[in-house]
Amino acid sequence: MPRDPRYDILFEPIKIGPVTAPNRFYQVPHCSGMGQRMPQSLAAMRAMKAEGGWGVVNTEYCSIHPSSDDGGYPYASLWDEADVRAQARMVEAVHNHGALAGAELWHGGSYVSNLGSRLPTIGTESRPSDGSRGNPVQSRAMDKQDIAALRGWHKAAAKRALAAGFDIVYVYGAHGYLVSEFLSPTLNRRSDAYGGSLENRLRLLRELIEETKEAVGDRAAVAVRYALSSEDAQEGFARLAELPDLWDLTVDDYGIEMGGSRFVREAALEETLAVAKTITTKPVVAVGRFTSPDTMVRQIKRGVLDMIGAARPSIADPFLPAKIRDGRPEDIRECIGCNICYAHNSLGVPNRCTQNPTMGEEWRRGWHPETIATKASEDPVLIVGGGPAGLEAARALGQRGHSVTLAEADTALGGRVTLESALPGLAEWARVRDWRIGQLQQMANVEIYLDSALTAEQIVDFGFPHVALATGARWRRDGIGRWRETPFDGWEHDRVVSPDELMAGRAPEGSVLLYDDDHYYMGPVLALHLRALGRPVTLVTAKGRAGTWSGVTNELEATNRALIEAGVELITNHALEAFDGTAAHLSCVFTDRTIERPADAVVPITARRPRDDLYHDLMRNPDNGLKSVTRIGDCEAPGLIASAVYSGHRYAQELGPAGPVPQAARREQILLEENPA
Ligand code: ADP
Ligand code: SF4
């Protein structure tokens, strides 16, 4: 299909200092969970974006010196020649597809803890490391010599970036890291030439821009990441407006910049950043979880941005630009804003993605987001259950060319995604279902039957050689989970309501006590759902805060704010012991103390049971005549929606003539010969 001429503007090349980007699609620096430890995975992942049409592809935060060590969080580095070789892999892979490669040089300052390098951290003054990391570490106040050393490290790293072949080199002036400490009117209390007045606070950034320009000459552009959130920051921006070759603008609050879709909409930075292009003539890029080409075009036409920045949309669909270019924007696999990608970086492992199961598997398993090996046999496949696992298995098997039949018990597809996306703030999550349905509708070899609850006998009678059971899981009612090993007293009471019943529309009357031992979004979201229905709600959690796991998705603050603002009573550090129909009995998780709370109903959100009866029924029958029976998704092991999609995809990737065969996954190993004693 020819592309819609309305989108032509997105494909105009643009000059960035001495280099030219082929189009307006700019993968901003984003963490990958791979960093310095996984150069091959990293190169393959970044290359995929270049192949998919991103005109600029950047590294993640790339440390210039061991005094900037975010140990525990995988970061990149350009400390030495070995790093140059590792980074050169990415650069080469990105260049092979005609894109520019950028390196985000970074010093963490007081924000980091240097747990790995064991060097003291450095900053404007002696400050504790960032609170969310919670490490009992404080930095050393930088003196003149330290500032001179820092400038030297930055310049040397810029030269190494050039040696690795990068086309764009960053000075990182945002996100609480070292340079932004200097910029800050509240954090920078220095009385020397680097503190006090705005000009003094700008000094370090100005020097780093100038020295980076000197280091890279006319071989690379110099970009600056900068937060434009305050009047002071705007004035600083105005003073440096023409100094770098590109501005990568953001706001101070990560929770907004990369906010989950539960709390933050597409193009959320527009209002704050709109002023930038009235101040600078240099190209401006910013993120906004852009997935709609119309929104992208509007950003450029309204003069807000010159380039469309993306981290998450480029993870969910590395081929987003190519799909717009080729006139098929409806095929874009839109990011749902769940922040599961970021969560895995926070957990110290490669990013994964709810929408894109191939993310992080480009090198390890050789998976590609757009193509897949042709089927290994002519065998047709039956998939039972049309939730995220079943839909993804059907889609990927259909793409392999298998004849696929999908049977869904319900009258609608989507399983848990359909139920959950009706809850407060989760509407965008329906994209997991909708994108897959859209793809399946284009496949003549996939048939879908709704309202078709299958039994084991029917499955055997149908005679499909391969059966995938994607029948999901159900929430437990008995309170067993992480904290409780036995059911709570009174769990069989008819005023104990499971999350499944609640989502099916059976909200109890009166006051409701939610007992959350799941610690992610489900408890808080159900609490908000019940508040919206006007019920008095108490949320009890055995942890110290509601929805603690949302800390890794960067939604913890917004989650707790929403609960407090909605009038949900929060009881932390308590577990549910008993419910008698009028009151719940709670125990302190640290002491023997107990408390009582009146409640007309209790909703335990603790754990799920796989719905695997069909599997056991089929396996009990040795004459079932099936070549393979495989549980996928929550039916195998309840988990994230991302895990269900991945499981369905892996099944489709691995299905051979006799059934699924586990694929070998390559490992990045450090070769001892390279590290002589
Ligand atoms: P997952 O996250 O693993 O995809 P879900 O719970 O989202 O799991 O989806 C499971 C789907 O399977 C639901 O839509 C459910 O209606 C369907 N299902 C469960 N049992 C059967 C069955 N016996 N026959 C057909 N569909 C079923
Ligand atoms: Fe978007 Fe979620 Fe994928 Fe991250 S994990 S890119 S937020 S869909």
Q: How far is the CA of 94 from the centre of ligand 1 (A)?
A: 40
Tell whether the model's pLDDT for residue 133 goes beyond 90.
no
Beta bridge partners of 623: none
Phi-psi label, residue 388: left if phi above 0, alpha if psi -120 to 50, beta otherwise: alpha
Report, as residue numbers or ranges, the catalytic residues. 177
Question: What rounded mean pLDDT belongs to the chain?
Answer: 96
Atom 1 in ligand 2: residue holding the nearest Cα: 335
Closest residue by CA, ligand 2 atom 5 = 353
CA of 634 to the centre of ligand 1 (A): 9
In this structure, which residue's CA is closest to atom 6 in ligand 2? Answer: 312
Segment 449-490, tens digit of pLDDT = 999 999 999 999 999 999 999 999 999 999 999 999 999 999
Q: Classify each residue of 485-517 as buried b or exposed e, where b means 16 or more C-beta atoms within 10 Å of its C-beta.
A: eeebebbeeebbbbbbbbbeeebbeebbbbbbb
The rounded distance, in Å, linking the Cα atoms of 592 and 589 is 8
- Expressed in angstroms and rounded, the spacing between residue 341 Cα and the centre of ligand 2 is 5
Question: Angle at CA 490, nearest 5°, toward 486 and 492?
Answer: 90
Residue 188 has pLDDT above 80, yes or no: yes
Q: Counting atoms of ligand 1 from 1, which one is nearest the CA of 614?
A: 23
- Whether ligand 2 lies within 6 angstroms of the CB of 353 is answered as yes
What does DSSP assign to residue 444?
Answer: T
User: Which residue's CA is minimally distant from atom 3 of ligand 2?
Assistant: 353
CA dist., res. 99 & res. 54, Å (int): 7
pLDDT tens readout for residues 511-527 = 999 999 999 999 999 99
Is any atom of ligand 1 closer than 6 Å to the C-beta of 636? no
Quick: pLDDT tens for 141-180: 999 999 999 999 999 999 999 999 999 999 999 999 999 9
The alpha carbon of 519 and the centre of ligand 1 are apart by a number of angstroms equal to 24
Q: Which of 419, 471, 641, 645 has most ligand 1 atoms within 8 Å of its beta carbon, as the pocket-test mutant?
A: 471
Q: Determine the 3-state secondary structure of 202 from DSSP.
A: helix
- 0.95 exceeded by pTM: yes
Write the pLDDT tens digit of every residue in 311-320.
999 999 999 9
Query: Using alpha carbons only, what angle is made at residue 67 by residues 344 and 172, rounded to the nearest 5 degrees?
Result: 65
Rounded CA separation 251/272 (Å):
8
So what's the pLDDT on residue 72? 87
Is 244's C-beta closer than 6 angstroms to any atom of ligand 2? no
Residue 123 has pLDDT above 80, yes or no: yes
pLDDT for the residue 271: 86
Q: With bands split at pLDDT 50, 70 and 90, how would you rate the model's confidence at 131?
A: low
- Find the 416 Cα to ligand 2 centroid distance in Å: 17
Of 130-134, 225-229, 494-498, 604-608, least confident by mean pLDDT is 130-134
Enter the tokens of residue 675.
């590290």
pLDDT at 266: 85
Cα 134 to ligand 2 centroid, rounded to whole Å: 26
Mean pLDDT to the nearest integer, 544-564: 97
Per-residue pLDDT at 674 exceeds 70: no
278 C-beta neighbours (distance < 10 Å), count: 8
Q: At which residue do the structure tokens 């922040």 appear?
A: 339
Ligand nearest to the CA of 310: 2
pLDDT tens digits, one per residue of 421-460: 999 999 999 999 999 999 999 999 999 999 999 999 999 9
The pLDDT value given to residue 524:
98
Q: Does the CB atom of residue 400 touch ligand 2 within 6 A?
A: no
pLDDT given for residue 252 in this prediction: 82
pLDDT classification of 32: cutoffs 50, 70, 90: very high
What single DSSP character describes residue 581? S
**Which pLDDT tens digit goes with each residue over 240-273?**
999 999 999 998 887 788 889 999 888 888 888 8
**Gap between the Cα atoms of 48 and 342, Å rounded:** 19
Instruction: Judge if the beta carbon of residue 554 lies within 6 A of ligand 2.
Output: no
Please state the φ and ψ torsions of residue 600, each to the nearest 5 degrees.
Answer: -85, -20
CB 568 within 8 A of CB 464: no
pLDDT tens for each residue of 618-672:
999 888 899 999 999 999 999 999 999 999 999 999 999 999 999 999 999 876 6
pLDDT band per the 50, 70, 90 thresholds, residue 675: low
Residue 492 has pLDDT above 80, yes or no: yes
Q: Which residue has the tokens 């989950």?
A: 260
Instruction: Name the β-bridge partners of 583.
Output: 598
499 lines ligand 1 (CB under 6 A): no
Q: What is the pLDDT of residue 513?
A: 98
